[in-house]
Amino acid sequence: MIPGISPNSDLKYTPVETGEAIEYRSPKKVLDQDDFLKLLITQFSTQDPLNPVTDTAFISQMAEFTALENAMMPALIARRGDAMRDVAIDLLSAVGLERRMDHRPGELSGGECQRVAMVRALIMQPKIVLADEPSGNLDEAASAVLHELLRDVAQRNQQAFLVMTHDERLASSMDRRGYLESGVLHLED
């Protein structure tokens, strides 16, 4: 049970399948924590119970660590850093950061920081990844690489991606599209 949410609430459920990538739109430019919580509840409450620590990931940025440490943070917290180091290196390389792993965020561009944040969200292979404008700071070439990585990871690892974007190229690469209205995700077929 998620604190503060009544089991008898009138939230509507629209199932999202694992391995599926969905683009959604909101009237807000940036979704807040309540919006993400509503998405988690309305989309996944009817499926297997989620562990909010290991089964979900948010794409965000942390300023205190090198790119590699930043990417590995969930694994380090879970005391699986040694086992996940090669995974982090492979993912960072996949997004073009193989030569920037020892740099701190202040030494990276905004787009590079965003790619590190994406890798951090992916490293523990959560069931659900909520991405708010994941390619917003990236140039066209880096965006294309990231979009391909999202699709590949979703299918290979059977992860669900809910992607908030105004990037038409990314939106068109998703399996389905939808829009968020009053906390409910409406999916188009």
Quick: pLDDT tens for 3-54.
Answer: 333 344 444 445 566 666 666 555 555 445 455 555 554 555 445 555 555 6
Higher pLDDT, 39 or 138: 138
Q: Across the chain, what does the average pLDDT equal?
A: 75
Angle at CA of residue 181, ends 180 and 183, nearest 5°: 80
Q: What share of the chain is helix, strand, coil (3-state, %, to 5)?
A: 40, 15, 45
E strand or H helix that includes residue 58: strand 56-58
CB-CB contact of 115 with 97 (8 Å): yes
Is the confidence at residue 102, as pLDDT, over 50? yes
Question: Do residues 50 and 20 make contact, with C-beta atoms less than 8 angstroms apart?
Answer: no
- Given a cut of 80, is residue 181 above it in pLDDT? no
**What pTM was estimated for this model as a whole?**
0.65
Per-residue confidence at 73, pLDDT binned at 50, 70, 90? confident
91-95, 113-117, 144-148, 181-185: least confident range: 181-185
pLDDT at residue 115 in the model: 87
- Distance, in Å, from the CA atom of 134 to the CA atom of 32, rounded to the nearest integer, reads 15
3-state secondary structure of 76: helix
The amino acid present at 120, given as its one-letter code, is R
pLDDT at 107: 92
Residue 175 neighbours by CB under 8 Å, 6+ apart: 20, 21, 22
In the predicted model, is pLDDT for residue 2 greater than 70?
no
- Furthest-apart CA pair in the chain: how many Å? 51
Q: Quick one: pLDDT at residue 15?
A: 57
Over 90: is that where the pLDDT of 68 sits? yes
89 has a pLDDT exceeding 90: yes
pLDDT at residue number 56: 56
